[in-house]
Amino acid sequence: MLKLGVNIDHVATLRQARYRSAQYPAGNPRELSGAIPEPDPVWAAVEAELAGAHGITVHLREDRRHIQDRDVRLLRQTIRTRLNLEMADVPAIIAFAEELKPDEVCLVPEKRQEVTTEGGLNVAGAPKSLARTVARLKKAGIVVSLFVDPDARQIRAATDAGADFVELHTGTFANARHELEEAAEIKKLTTAAELAHKLGVRVNAGHGLNYQNTPAILAVPHLETLNTGHSIMSRALFVGLRQAVREMLALMAPPTR
Ligand code: PXP
């Protein structure tokens, strides 16, 4: 069964837009500002789980622009599904992950200027330290995924680096302007998923998936989890988060005859 990981970064983005200084040092945040910083991504995770999400994804960025350390620590204690931590391959965040032990880590490229992750990791051109990071995280009992473009070189490099999973970047597919372009991207994703499977690496996918384009992604073989955030949160503004998650899960279920 195809699983849904709900990315809740966008809830933290909304909170930080107002409570930019909410860095959550120890203590009651109310004592810091008099107000309760809201909305709380931890609450969002509970709602997503109650609607049937199979996992919760957060990206702890180096600049802490949305998710805060406090959020990840509370999620670790409270969620009942799987915690997937997206992060850059940098020493301070690696140490944080080793201590916190999320169920999974997805290593992503990270640029300060970008609004969101813009593409897959260049695993083929990455320093040897990437394979060392994968080994370190696996040694801590964490399942490791590498976010890559659907490109054979990157899939082979991810295998060589020891990844358990690749998460196929679906951003180019999501940005397709017409059906022909979309079909070409599905073909690329399919070839990449088949190669990963043949090499013994498991396959997830994500980025830019929404209620319109998710049905087409179901044609890609070997997918285990779709990680989706922005579109679910956008719909949640109008129908509520539980309903938005349920609607996405319904789209992902194979038709019953
Ligand atoms: N997967 C990865 C690796 C990402 O970086 C993101 C964005 O944070 C997502 C999935 C979710 O993307 P979106 O918010 O466009 O659904």
Q: Look at residue 128 and tell me whether its pLDDT is greater than 90.
A: no
pLDDT of residue 22: 53
Is 241 in a helix, a strand, or coil? helix
Tens digit of each residue's pLDDT (9 = 90 or more) over 161-175: 999 999 999 999 999
Nearest to 249 by CA among 38, 49, 18, 81: 49
Per-residue b or e along 48-75, where b marks 16 or more CB atoms closer than 10 Å to that residue's CB: bbebbbbbbbbbbbeeeebbbebbbebb
pLDDT band of 196, cuts 50, 70, 90: very high
pLDDT of residue 32: 60
Is 66 in a helix, a strand, or coil? coil
pLDDT of residue 110: 84
What residue type is 154 in one-letter code?
Answer: Q
pLDDT of residue 255: 66
Rounded to 10°, the helix 241-252/41-50 angle is 50
Length of the chain: 257
pLDDT of residue 35: 74
- Nearest alpha carbon, ligand 1 atom 1: 206
What are the structural domains of the chain? 3-252 (3.20.20.70)
At 59, list the tokens.
């990206």
**Sign of the C-alpha dihedral computed for residues 219, 220, 226 and 227 taken in this order:** negative
Which of 7, 212, 223 is the best mutation target for the ligand 1 pocket, counting ligand atoms within 8 Å of the beta carbon and taking the most? 7
H helix runs in 55-90, sequence order: 69-78
pLDDT of residue 224: 98
Tens digit of each residue's pLDDT (9 = 90 or more) over 16-71: 998 876 555 555 666 666 678 999 999 999 999 999 999 999 999 999 999 999 99
What residue type is 45 in one-letter code?
Answer: A
Round to whole Å and give the CA distance between 13 and 249: 24
Which has the minimum average pLDDT: 33-37, 126-130, 150-154, 181-185?
33-37
- Nearest alpha carbon, ligand 1 atom 3: 147
Task: Give the mean model confidence (pLDDT) for residues 6-14.
Answer: 97
pLDDT of residue 111: 75
Percent of the chain residues topping a pLDDT of 70:
91
Which pTM value belongs to this model?
A: 0.94
Which of 6, 111, 116 is the best mutation target for the ligand 1 pocket, counting ligand atoms within 8 Å of the beta carbon and taking the most? 116
Ligand 1 proximal residues by C-beta, below 6 Å: 7, 9, 59, 86, 106, 108, 116-117, 147, 167, 206-209, 227-231
Helix, strand and coil percent figures for the chain, each rounded to 5: 45, 15, 40
Task: Give the mean model confidence (pLDDT) for residues 78-96.
Answer: 97
Q: Look at residue 188 and tell me whether its pLDDT is greater than 70.
A: yes
Contact 209, 169 (CB under 8 A): no
Mean pLDDT in the chain?
A: 93
Active site residues: 59, 86, 207
Tens digit of each residue's pLDDT (9 = 90 or more) over 198-229: 999 999 999 999 999 999 999 999 999 999 99
